[in-house]
Amino acid sequence: MPNSSIDIINVIESKLKDKVQIQKGQLSTAAITVSNGLHRDVIQAMVDADPYTAISAITGLDLGASLGVYYHVRTSNAFLTIKAEVPKENPKIQTITDITPSGVFHELEVSDLFGVAFEGNPLPGHFVLPETWPQGIYPLRKDVNANEVKLDPPLEEEKKPSEGKLVKIIIGPQHPALLEPEKFAVTVDGETVTKVEPRIGYVHRGIEKASESRTYLQDIYLVERICGICTTIHAADFCETVEKLLKAEVPQRAKYLRVIALELNRLHSHFLTLGHAGLEIGYETLFQYFWRDREPIMDLIELTSGSRVYPSIMTIGGVRRDLKDTDLPKIKTTLIELRKKLPFYRQVYENEPSLRARMKNVGILKREDALKLGVVGPVARGSGVDIDVRKDEPYEAYSEIPFKEIVYQDGDTWARMNVRMDEVEESINIIEYALDHLPAGPFRVKVPRVVPPGEAVNRVEAPRGELFCYIKSNGTAMPERVKVRTPTYANIPSFLKTAIGENIADVPPNFVSLDPCFSCTDR
Amino acid sequence: MIDFMLIFRILVFPGFTFVLFLTLFCDWVERKIEARIQNRVGPMVAGPGGILQPLADFIKLLTKEDITPRDAKKTIFKFAPLVAFSIMVFAMAFLPIDGGSVISASGFNGDLIIILAFVTIANFLLFLAGWASCNPYGSIGSARVLTQFLGYDIPLTLLALTPAFIAGSLNIFSIAYIQVTQLLPFILLAPWAFVLFIITMQAELEKDPFDIPHADSEVVGGLETEYTGGKLAFLHLTRDVQIVFGAALVVELFLGGPYGPVFFGLPEFWYSLWFILKLLAVVIITEYITTVFARLRIDQVLRANWKILLPAAILSLVLTVAMVTWIYPMVV
Amino acid sequence: MADTKTWARVKSPWVLHFNSGSCNGCDIEIVSLLTPKYDVERFGVKLEPSPRHADVLLVTGAVTKQCEERLKRVYDQMPQPKFVVAIGACACSGGVFNGCYNVVGGVDKVIPVTAYIPGCAPRPEALMDGVVKLLNALSPPKPKKQAKQEKLVEAPKEEVKPPDAPILEVPTTPILQDAKSIIEETKPDAKQ
């Protein structure tokens, strides 16, 4: 948690007192309503005052006659929302990418899905939607039905695209290194990478639009399926946001049970990444060993919830099922066995020469770049940026459970993987503490089906970083707008930067070290 | 007169059929070792204990549809795998397996150089195969093959000459025979050369930690990307025969070849048995090294070659010359 | 001769995994098949990097509109005889995303499918069961064994559907199309 005493609201008030309306206590720390153009001044003031300032997400909204563009900005000790509006007939707004480069991908998504034109954004073209999506159809606007859109076939790519010495290699969408489809056009000069152009959107299923036509309870199961690896945290984030709208108080026992489920999810996700990294550097044996040790964790997840991959244990108001007392000893013995295996893996990472040769000093992300690009999660903590939502803005029972925040200063692939390894140990500690101090009581509380109108934001710490959710309700049983910003979406710009100047053979391990999850990114 | 014995030796044993089945058997051994080290079981269903798995793979590939890409260079694309395979099998014919090689009972002076040249030609044909498929992954894969084997050919030749120097001859039969009759096996006389030779062989055969040309996370299928069906089967077989050939070369040069104690009956039977046992030992060692290490980057591989292995190979030759000329005559 | 061909095809199915817009749940269960607890290499299954080397295409995910063309292209690149396995509820019919604006909804709307393995996400045991059932459907029947049994257990004919009929409901057990006839009809082409 950054040690900071900057009162960011004071700073904004002193600089722009009469031009903006500040509502303290709304939408986390404060909501600031600005009229056209002033959003730049507010963000500029924040960036000047606090180096930890970064855009967490940009939400687009259909407000009827106008489109809302909400900037959610994170600083070292506050989380603000800046609300701007543009008219539908002329949806133009100035970009903020020159002030803080962390906003570039977020702006592209709003322009794709709502049609807001950000003047000055450096990247053109469709980002989240397919390349051949017809112009003028913005799926997330209320008056648009995009179900019947038929796409033209994609453009025939040139056979041997190369300009002089530079050769363009296309990685993906079907590639053995990547579990998911996405395309990276990597331009190489010999063996050195000069430019990386991403093309995402292959897994864009339109979850945000679909959630508007299902009830809140049905939406849990939809939002959960944004990603099959970090599924529990997506459900938890959504449920917490709805509970904020309902002003419902979750019982203590449910909070602890949620923490146990979330930390089990973090364990299995970190083991998955650690093993996958082994596969990328050609170390199949390490991959097999990590996944062999991941199986007891999957057995625990199945024991506590009934299913391996989709535990579906979160519900609005608590958890769906209780933990039996007879299960506790089994969980404890499995965790003890797991803890005994960690020194072996630590030794491999410290001493194995071929692994160190492939991971040390590869993909270095400097601390200033990490702060400017607004990266989150183990990528940030591996570069010396000490942000962790469990410590900065504790949720569930994390304020009562002691654990360490893991920060490494090196900024290379090796440091990022080590952050995850140490977090595995911390997760085991958290689960053991939670099991020992599990309070008695109900494990869920009944909540009404209809949610009163309002809006709420919530942030949690997914295995990959900060996960953000914004929900606007309109007084019915279905939400008006659900916006989810996943951690990989915020981390990809860092990959575009760290890959430049590296050997092409370093691109896969570098890529896996930021633990990309494209189904999270595309939703 | 038709020499039926010669035809039998060429086609069946120890010629083509024996080499083919030995290759498939070594492939099975490798897969089982890799699986056991990774805490798994490996092929189990095809035949007892999965021993027919490589044969099933081979036959299945032969029955697949054959696709030639539109832009590929047709002649090289079609024939390179088959020619590479033939050259490797031909190179195996020079090695004494059952007491004498297929070519002639006692070889001829200089056949060590010739088979090293054959390995180079076969590797070069593999490079051509990848280049002819006109696929960006194929081109990168084959460029890596070329860079790697051209670099490692030099220390390989130097290290192969070490046993030749100790034995005083470039004839493989003599080198192998002398280890059993007059001197000790060269693994004991020049152990440094043995260790360096194994490492260099790993790089020549493109196995971990030097298996960049087959790094499927970077170059998809490498030089094999566009190949299907029978041509792919022969590409795989070429690589497997190269592995067997490399191990056989180690056996001949350092472990005394097929020669060992004969207990009863035909000496040919015992010589083949010793050959196979020693071959399996070398295959197990190389496969163990493969599974235990990660894959190095191309610049690290090249640095390992030019800055470490090449000087080490030269030093090893010098050291061996010194030991043989001055030290060993005093001891023996 | 035909028996040896079929034997070799059954004992050595090389798979290619393609994610056409999946949430990753089914994909990590596929990857965990290679790990020590389930070890699918016992059956000779190898995960291949290039479509040209593979026999079986494992498709996960409700096909998104952007992936539709790529899926067709990958399928065309595979040499005959080839089989497609649709894994997970999304691949069978679109799953929970059926009706979303960027989703085609089911792999069989794009390419012919041989086997369906439902579940969200199907357990690795269910995946192996589906793969083994597919392989068993390719093996020739053994008349000697059947003569010894009193009742012949015939292959359920009502479950066989023609390849181009749209699948109307998600089945609860893996359903196989007449895979043997696919092998016999599609002989490998001699020339491109």
Query: If DSSP codes are grouped into helix, strand and coil, which group holds residue A30?
Result: strand
Backbone φ and ψ of A404, nearest 5°: -95, 150
A-chain residues within 8 Å CB-CB of B34?
A: 284
- Rg for chain A, CA atoms, rounded: 23
Residue A153 lies in a domain: no
C119 backbone φψ class: left, alpha, beta (φ>0; ψ -120 to 50): left
Structure tokens at A12: 């904004």
pLDDT band at B6 (very low <50, low <70, confident <90, very high): confident
A-chain residues within 8 Å CB-CB of B215?
A: 282, 505
Nearest by CB: B57 against C4, C12, C36: C12
Which residues, 6 or more positions from A222, have their beta carbon under 8 angstroms from its beta carbon?
A: A207, A210, A211, A214, C96
Q: What is the largest CA-CA distance in chain B?
A: 68
Nearest by CB: B291 against A191, A285, A508: A285
Residue A400 lies in a domain: yes
Backbone φ and ψ of C35, nearest 5°: -85, 165
Q: Are A273 and A229 in contact (CB under 8 A)?
A: no
pLDDT of residue A138: 83
Q: Are C12 and C43 in contact (CB under 8 A)?
A: no
pLDDT band at C192 (very low <50, low <70, confident <90, very high): very low
**Cα–Cα distance between A248 and A442 in angstroms, integer?**
14
**Cα–Cα distance between B103 and B118 in angstroms, integer?**
15
Structure tokens at A230: 């970090």
Residue A182 lies in a domain: no
Q: Is residue C75 within a helix (H) or strand (E), and if so which, with residue range? A: helix C65-77
C8/B56 Cβ within 8 A: yes
CA distance A279 to chain B (A): 8
Q: What is the ipTM of this complex?
A: 0.85
Q: Which CATH number is A388's domain given?
A: 1.10.645.10
pLDDT, tens digit (0-9, with 9 covering 90-100), for C135-175: 887 775 555 444 444 444 554 555 554 555 454 554 444 44
What's this model's pTM, rounded to 2 decimal places?
Answer: 0.85
Q: Which residue bears the tokens 């995850």? A: A420
B136/A280 Cβ within 8 A: no
Least confident of B303-312, C35-44, C165-174: C165-174
Let me know the angle formed at the C-alpha of B267 by B263 and B273, rounded to the nearest 5 degrees: 80
**Cα–Cα distance between A406 and A348 in angstroms, integer?**
19
Burial of residue A400 (CB within 10 Å: 0-12, 13-18, 19+) is middle
pLDDT of residue A159: 42
B227/C41 Cβ within 8 A: no
C7/B50 Cβ within 8 A: no
B-chain residues within 8 Å CB-CB of C183?
A: none
Strand-strand pairing, C83-87 and C115-117: parallel
A221/C25 Cβ within 8 A: no
Q: What is the pLDDT along chain A (523 residues), one digit of tens a residue?
A: 666 677 777 777 777 777 777 777 766 777 778 777 778 888 888 888 888 888 888 888 888 888 888 888 888 888 888 888 888 888 788 888 888 888 888 888 888 888 888 887 777 777 888 777 777 788 888 877 777 777 766 665 544 444 556 677 777 666 665 667 777 888 887 778 888 888 887 888 888 888 888 888 888 988 998 888 889 999 999 999 999 888 888 999 999 999 999 999 999 999 998 888 888 787 888 888 999 999 999 999 988 888 888 888 889 988 998 888 888 889 999 999 999 989 998 888 888 888 888 888 888 888 888 888 888 889 889 888 888 888 888 888 888 888 888 888 888 888 888 899 999 999 999 999 999 988 888 888 988 888 888 888 889 999 998 899 999 988 888 888 899 999 988 888 888 888 888 887 788 788 888 888 888 888 7
DSSP annotation of C187 reads P
**Cα–Cα distance between B34 and B288 in angstroms, integer?**
7
Size of interface B-C (CB pairs under 8 A): 100
Residue A170 lies in a domain: no
Q: What is the 3-state secondary structure (H, E, C) of A90-141?
A: CCEEECCCCCCHHHHHHHHHHHHHHCCEEECCCCCCCCCCCCCCCCCCCCCC
Tell me the helix, strand and coil percentages in chain B, rounded to 5: 70, 0, 30
DSSP annotation of A85 reads E
Find the residue in B nearest to C54 (Cα).
B228
pLDDT of residue B217: 62
Average pLDDT taken over every residue of chain C: 76
Which residues, 6 or more positions from A377, have their beta carbon under 8 angstroms from its beta carbon?
A: A461, A462, A463, A464, A465, A466, A487, A491, A515
| Same domain, yes or no: A140 and A212 | no
Strand-strand pairing, A479-485 and A454-462: unpaired
A288/B291 Cβ within 8 A: no
Query: If DSSP codes are grouped into helix, strand and coil, which group holds residue B25?
Result: helix
Find the residue in C nearest to A287 (Cα).
C35
C35/A291 Cβ within 8 A: yes
Burial of residue B78 (CB within 10 Å: 0-12, 13-18, 19+) is middle
What domain range is A22 assigned to?
Answer: 8-144
Find the residue in A nearest to C27 (Cα).
A179
Residue A367 lies in a domain: yes
In this model, does residue B100 exceed pLDDT 80?
A: no
Find the residue in A nearest to B144 (Cα).
A191
Residue A162 lies in a domain: no
- Residues 29 through 68 of chain B touching chain A, CB cutoff 8 Å: 34, 37-40
Residue A293 lies in a domain: yes
**Cα–Cα distance between A236 and A469 in angstroms, integer?**
10
B38/C36 Cβ within 8 A: yes
Structure tokens at B72: 């590929």
A-chain residues within 8 Å CB-CB of B136?
A: 160, 167, 169-170
Question: Is residue B48 less than 8 Å (CB to CB) from chain C?
Answer: no
**Cα–Cα distance between A89 and A117 in angstroms, integer?**
11
Query: If DSSP codes are grouped into helix, strand and coil, which group holds residue C40?
Result: helix
Q: Is residue C135 within a helix (H) or strand (E), and if so which, with residue range? A: helix C124-138
| Count of residues in chain B | 332
A231/C102 Cβ within 8 A: no
Q: Are B228 and B66 in contact (CB under 8 A)?
A: yes
CA distance C77 to chain B (A): 9
Backbone φ and ψ of B38, nearest 5°: -85, 15
CA distance B301 to chain A (A): 11
**Cα–Cα distance between B255 and A8 in angstroms, integer?**
76
**Cα–Cα distance between A58 and A373 in angstroms, integer?**
15
- Residues 408 through 447 of chain A touching chain C, CB cutoff 8 Å: none
Structure tokens at B265: 């009956």
pLDDT, tens digit (0-9, with 9 covering 90-100), for B216-260: 666 666 777 888 888 888 888 888 998 999 898 888 888 877 877
CA distance B268 to chain C (A): 33
**Cα–Cα distance between B43 and B61 in angstroms, integer?**
17
Q: How many domains does chain B have?
A: 1
pLDDT, tens digit (0-9, with 9 covering 90-100), for B284-301: 999 988 888 888 877 788
pLDDT of residue B307: 86
Query: If DSSP codes are grouped into helix, strand and coil, which group holds residue C16?
Result: strand
CA distance A190 to chain B (A): 10
Question: Is residue B213 less than 8 Å (CB to CB) from chain A?
Answer: no
- From first CA to last CA, the distance across chain A in angstroms is 29
Nearest by CB: A282 against B34, B71, B215: B215
Q: Which residue bears the tokens 């299902």? A: A214
Single out the residue in A123, A144, A165 at which a domain terminates: A144
Q: Which residue bears the tokens 């112009």? A: A135
A-chain residues within 8 Å CB-CB of B295?
A: 281-283, 354, 358
Q: How many domains does chain A have?
A: 2
What domain range is B232 assigned to?
Answer: 4-331
B39/A289 Cβ within 8 A: yes
Tell me the helix, strand and coil percentages in chain C, rounded to 5: 45, 10, 45
CA distance B49 to chain A (A): 21
Which residues are bridge partners to A119 per DSSP? A94
pLDDT of residue A235: 92
Nearest by CB: C121 against A175, A295, A309: A309
The total of other beta-carbon atoms located within 10 Å of residue A109's CB is 26
Which residues, 6 or more positions from A362, have their beta carbon under 8 angstroms from its beta carbon?
A: A412, A413, A414, A502, A506, A509, A510
Residue A179 lies in a domain: no
Find the residue in C nearest to B54 (Cα).
C12
Most C CBs within 10 A among A309, A341, A517, A520, hence the mutation to make, goes to A309
Query: If DSSP codes are grouped into helix, strand and coil, which group holds residue A477?
Result: coil
- Residues 130 through 149 of chain B touching chain C, CB cutoff 8 Å: 137
Distances, alpha carbon A184 to alpha carbons A172, A214, A493, in Å: 7, 35, 13
Single out the residue in A144, A163, A196 at which a domain terminates: A144
